Each structure stands twice: as C-alpha cells, then as structure tokens.
C-alpha cells in the first residue's frame, strides 16, 4: 500500500518521492539531518548502524538503489534534533488547528 502511495506522489508531482519529501517536508521544517540516502548518512559521520547484544556490527541491509522503492513505507534516517523539531511543530500545528489547549484532553 505504501509503495502505491509513493508511486502516486511521484507520478502526480513529476519527481522522485524522496526528492518530494525533502523539498516539501524536510526543508520547510529545517530538518537538515533527515534523509533517505544511506550513503549520504554514512558520509556525515553521524550514522551509527546497528549492533547485536554481544557487540557484533550489523551493516545496513538496504542498498542505495532500493531506497526509492522503500521510501513510502520506511527508510527515513534522521537525528534526534530533527525528530524533536518535527514533533514540536506537529504538536503546535495540530493544537492550533483544533483550537484547544494542549493537555490531557488531547491524549
């Protein structure tokens, strides 16, 4: 289902889904550390990968060529700073639209 959504966005906008998300979501929100590119994340030096419980490194399993296929369902690589920025923006935007205060009644 997500792959179909990715395809529809790509067809309607005339651009790759990952480019659309970067231009319309990441850039306006100032999410400079967010990407779909594994190679780009590794180049920043901030990409940590995954480790087993006994200390063995597990390399990224998704190759760069498949990012466009998986982008709709998953694959965003981000930093804590970017995720917090997005969460705060979402909370402020949704409470403003709903015209109610943020509190227990929103939970």
Report pLDDT digits (tens) over 60-106: 766 677 777 677 777 788 888 888 877 877 776 666 555 555 454 44
Q: What's the whole-number mean pLDDT along residues 7-15?
A: 91
Tell me the pTM. Answer: 0.65
Q: Which residues partner with 35 through β-bridges?
A: 77
| pLDDT band, residue 107 (cuts 50/70/90) | very low
What's the pLDDT tens digit per position in 12-49? 999 988 899 889 988 888 888 888 887 778 788 777 77
């Amino acid at each position: 289902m997500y792959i179909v959504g990715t395809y529809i966005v790509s067809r309607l906008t005339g651009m790759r889904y990952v480019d659309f998300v970067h231009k319309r979501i990441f850039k306006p929100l100032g999410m400079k550390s967010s990407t779909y590119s594994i190679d780009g994340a590794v180049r920043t030096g901030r990409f940590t990968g995954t480790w087993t419980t006994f200390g063995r490194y597990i390399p990224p399993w998704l190759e760069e060529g498949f990012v466009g296929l998986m982008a709709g369902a998953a694959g965003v690589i981000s930093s804590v700073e970017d995720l917090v920025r997005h969460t705060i923006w979402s909370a402020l935007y949704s409470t403003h639209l709903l015209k109610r205060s943020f509190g227990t009644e929103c939970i």
